[in-house]
Amino acid sequence: MPPVTVLRRCVSLLLISALTIAGPALAQEQQGCVAPEYRQFDFWIGSWSVTNPKGIIAGTNRIESILGGCVLQEHWRSAGGGDGTSLNMWNAADSTWRQVWMDAGGNLLELKGKLVGNQMILSGKRPTAGQPGGLTVDRVTWTPLPNGTVRQFWESSTDDGATWTTAFDGLYAREP
Protein backbone atom coordinates (compact mmCIF):
# COMPACT_ATOMS: atom_id res chain seq x y z
CA MET A 1 0.00 0.00 0.00
CA PRO A 2 1.43 3.45 -0.89
CA PRO A 3 2.49 5.58 2.12
CA VAL A 4 -0.12 8.28 1.27
CA THR A 5 -2.95 5.69 1.48
CA VAL A 6 -1.67 4.41 4.83
CA LEU A 7 -1.45 7.98 6.10
CA ARG A 8 -5.03 8.71 4.97
CA ARG A 9 -6.32 5.58 6.73
CA CYS A 10 -4.48 6.52 9.93
CA VAL A 11 -5.88 10.06 9.84
CA SER A 12 -9.38 8.69 9.20
CA LEU A 13 -9.09 6.29 12.15
CA LEU A 14 -7.82 9.10 14.38
CA LEU A 15 -10.74 11.34 13.39
CA ILE A 16 -13.27 8.56 14.00
CA SER A 17 -11.69 7.87 17.40
CA ALA A 18 -11.69 11.56 18.32
CA LEU A 19 -15.34 11.97 17.36
CA THR A 20 -16.30 8.84 19.26
CA ILE A 21 -14.60 10.18 22.38
CA ALA A 22 -15.64 13.83 21.95
CA GLY A 23 -19.24 13.18 20.90
CA PRO A 24 -20.63 12.65 24.42
CA ALA A 25 -18.61 15.62 25.72
CA LEU A 26 -20.02 17.89 22.99
CA ALA A 27 -23.55 16.70 23.74
CA GLN A 28 -23.04 17.50 27.44
CA GLU A 29 -21.65 20.92 26.59
CA GLN A 30 -24.71 21.75 24.47
CA GLN A 31 -26.98 20.80 27.36
CA GLY A 32 -24.97 22.78 29.90
CA CYS A 33 -27.60 25.42 30.78
CA VAL A 34 -29.11 23.50 33.67
CA ALA A 35 -27.92 25.61 36.61
CA PRO A 36 -30.78 27.35 38.46
CA GLU A 37 -29.50 30.79 37.35
CA TYR A 38 -30.55 30.01 33.77
CA ARG A 39 -34.19 29.86 34.97
CA GLN A 40 -34.18 33.20 36.84
CA PHE A 41 -35.67 35.17 33.94
CA ASP A 42 -38.18 32.49 32.90
CA PHE A 43 -41.02 34.53 34.45
CA TRP A 44 -40.78 36.72 31.33
CA ILE A 45 -41.37 33.83 28.88
CA GLY A 46 -44.70 34.04 27.05
CA SER A 47 -46.81 36.10 24.67
CA TRP A 48 -47.75 39.45 26.16
CA SER A 49 -49.92 42.48 25.53
CA VAL A 50 -48.09 45.52 26.91
CA THR A 51 -49.81 48.68 28.16
CA ASN A 52 -48.45 51.96 29.47
CA PRO A 53 -49.44 53.37 32.90
CA LYS A 54 -52.58 54.95 31.36
CA GLY A 55 -53.71 51.53 30.12
CA ILE A 56 -53.03 52.35 26.47
CA ILE A 57 -51.61 49.51 24.36
CA ALA A 58 -47.87 50.07 23.87
CA GLY A 59 -47.32 46.90 21.85
CA THR A 60 -46.96 43.15 21.99
CA ASN A 61 -44.02 41.07 23.05
CA ARG A 62 -43.22 37.40 22.69
CA ILE A 63 -40.40 35.96 24.77
CA GLU A 64 -39.27 32.42 24.03
CA SER A 65 -36.66 30.07 25.38
CA ILE A 66 -34.26 28.99 22.64
CA LEU A 67 -31.00 27.07 22.24
CA GLY A 68 -31.84 24.37 24.73
CA GLY A 69 -32.95 26.78 27.45
CA CYS A 70 -29.71 28.77 27.35
CA VAL A 71 -31.14 31.94 25.77
CA LEU A 72 -34.34 33.98 25.90
CA GLN A 73 -35.26 35.74 22.69
CA GLU A 74 -37.59 38.73 22.72
CA HIS A 75 -39.77 39.73 19.75
CA TRP A 76 -41.20 43.23 20.31
CA ARG A 77 -43.78 44.93 18.11
CA SER A 78 -44.70 48.48 19.08
CA ALA A 79 -48.27 49.71 18.66
CA GLY A 80 -46.64 52.50 16.63
CA GLY A 81 -45.19 49.97 14.19
CA GLY A 82 -41.56 49.60 15.34
CA ASP A 83 -40.00 46.17 15.77
CA GLY A 84 -37.14 45.02 17.94
CA THR A 85 -35.54 41.91 19.33
CA SER A 86 -33.23 41.00 22.16
CA LEU A 87 -31.15 38.03 23.20
CA ASN A 88 -30.84 37.39 26.94
CA MET A 89 -28.54 34.93 28.65
CA TRP A 90 -27.02 34.06 32.01
CA ASN A 91 -23.27 34.47 31.59
CA ALA A 92 -21.74 31.94 33.96
CA ALA A 93 -18.26 33.37 33.29
CA ASP A 94 -19.02 36.54 35.28
CA SER A 95 -22.27 35.54 37.03
CA THR A 96 -24.41 38.18 35.31
CA TRP A 97 -27.37 38.30 32.98
CA ARG A 98 -26.73 39.90 29.60
CA GLN A 99 -29.17 41.46 27.16
CA VAL A 100 -28.39 42.69 23.66
CA TRP A 101 -31.29 44.67 22.15
CA MET A 102 -31.51 45.67 18.48
CA ASP A 103 -34.37 47.34 16.64
CA ALA A 104 -35.53 48.32 13.18
CA GLY A 105 -34.37 51.90 13.83
CA GLY A 106 -30.74 50.72 14.06
CA ASN A 107 -30.59 51.13 17.82
CA LEU A 108 -28.41 48.91 19.99
CA LEU A 109 -28.57 48.50 23.75
CA GLU A 110 -26.27 46.24 25.76
CA LEU A 111 -27.20 45.57 29.38
CA LYS A 112 -25.98 43.36 32.18
CA GLY A 113 -27.06 42.72 35.72
CA LYS A 114 -28.61 40.26 38.14
CA LEU A 115 -31.73 39.04 39.82
CA VAL A 116 -32.17 41.14 42.98
CA GLY A 117 -34.91 39.70 45.16
CA ASN A 118 -37.59 38.90 42.59
CA GLN A 119 -36.57 41.71 40.19
CA MET A 120 -34.31 41.33 37.16
CA ILE A 121 -32.25 44.53 37.02
CA LEU A 122 -29.99 45.12 34.01
CA SER A 123 -28.07 48.28 33.17
CA GLY A 124 -25.58 49.59 30.66
CA LYS A 125 -24.03 52.68 29.11
CA ARG A 126 -24.38 53.93 25.55
CA PRO A 127 -23.38 57.06 23.64
CA THR A 128 -25.87 59.90 24.12
CA ALA A 129 -27.54 60.83 20.84
CA GLY A 130 -26.55 64.31 19.69
CA GLN A 131 -23.95 64.77 22.44
CA PRO A 132 -20.45 63.83 21.27
CA GLY A 133 -18.62 62.17 24.17
CA GLY A 134 -21.78 62.01 26.26
CA LEU A 135 -22.93 58.76 27.88
CA THR A 136 -26.43 57.66 28.81
CA VAL A 137 -26.92 55.07 31.55
CA ASP A 138 -29.93 52.80 31.05
CA ARG A 139 -31.41 50.73 33.86
CA VAL A 140 -34.25 48.30 33.12
CA THR A 141 -36.12 46.45 35.87
CA TRP A 142 -38.55 43.57 35.27
CA THR A 143 -40.78 42.71 38.22
CA PRO A 144 -43.14 39.71 38.23
CA LEU A 145 -46.34 40.73 40.05
CA PRO A 146 -48.60 38.47 42.14
CA ASN A 147 -51.43 38.58 39.56
CA GLY A 148 -49.18 37.04 36.85
CA THR A 149 -48.36 40.30 35.07
CA VAL A 150 -44.83 41.67 34.71
CA ARG A 151 -43.83 45.32 34.99
CA GLN A 152 -40.92 46.56 32.88
CA PHE A 153 -39.57 49.89 34.06
CA TRP A 154 -36.79 51.53 32.03
CA GLU A 155 -34.94 54.57 33.34
CA SER A 156 -32.21 56.66 31.70
CA SER A 157 -29.65 59.07 33.10
CA THR A 158 -27.33 61.45 31.27
CA ASP A 159 -25.53 62.57 34.47
CA ASP A 160 -24.11 59.19 35.54
CA GLY A 161 -27.08 58.31 37.72
CA ALA A 162 -27.53 61.57 39.65
CA THR A 163 -31.00 61.98 38.10
CA TRP A 164 -33.21 59.58 36.18
CA THR A 165 -36.00 59.94 33.62
CA THR A 166 -38.53 57.28 32.69
CA ALA A 167 -37.88 55.92 29.19
CA PHE A 168 -40.59 53.22 29.31
CA ASP A 169 -43.05 51.88 31.85
CA GLY A 170 -44.97 48.87 30.63
CA LEU A 171 -47.28 46.32 32.18
CA TYR A 172 -47.13 42.90 30.54
CA ALA A 173 -50.36 40.88 30.60
CA ARG A 174 -50.36 37.37 29.16
CA GLU A 175 -52.25 37.03 25.90
CA PRO A 176 -54.93 34.31 25.91
What's the pLDDT tens digit per position in 32-69? 899 999 999 999 999 999 999 999 999 999 999 999 99
Q: Which of 29, 38, 155, 143 lies closest to 96 in space, CA to CA? A: 38
Q: What are the extents of the domains in the chain?
A: 1-30, 36-174
Mean of all residue pLDDT scores within the chain: 88
Give the pLDDT band (50/70/90) at residue 176: confident
Q: Taking residues 155-172, what's their average pLDDT?
A: 97
CA dihedral over 7, 26, 93, 113, signed as positive or negative = positive
pLDDT band at 3 (very low <50, low <70, confident <90, very high): low
Burial of 9 (0-12, 13-18, 19+ CB in 10 A): exposed
Counted residue by residue, the chain has a size of: 176
pTM of the model: 0.82
Among residues 173, 95, 108, 96, which one has the least CA distance to residue 138?
A: 108
Window from 21-30, 64-73, 74-83, 120-129 with minimum mean pLDDT: 21-30
State residue 30's pLDDT score: 56
> Given pLDDT bands bounded at 50, 70 and 90, which one contains residue 77?
very high
Whether the predicted pLDDT of 161 surpasses 50: yes
pLDDT at 1 over 70: no
Fold of 36-174: Lipocalin (2.40.128)
Q: In the predicted model, what is the mean pLDDT of residues 146-166?
A: 97
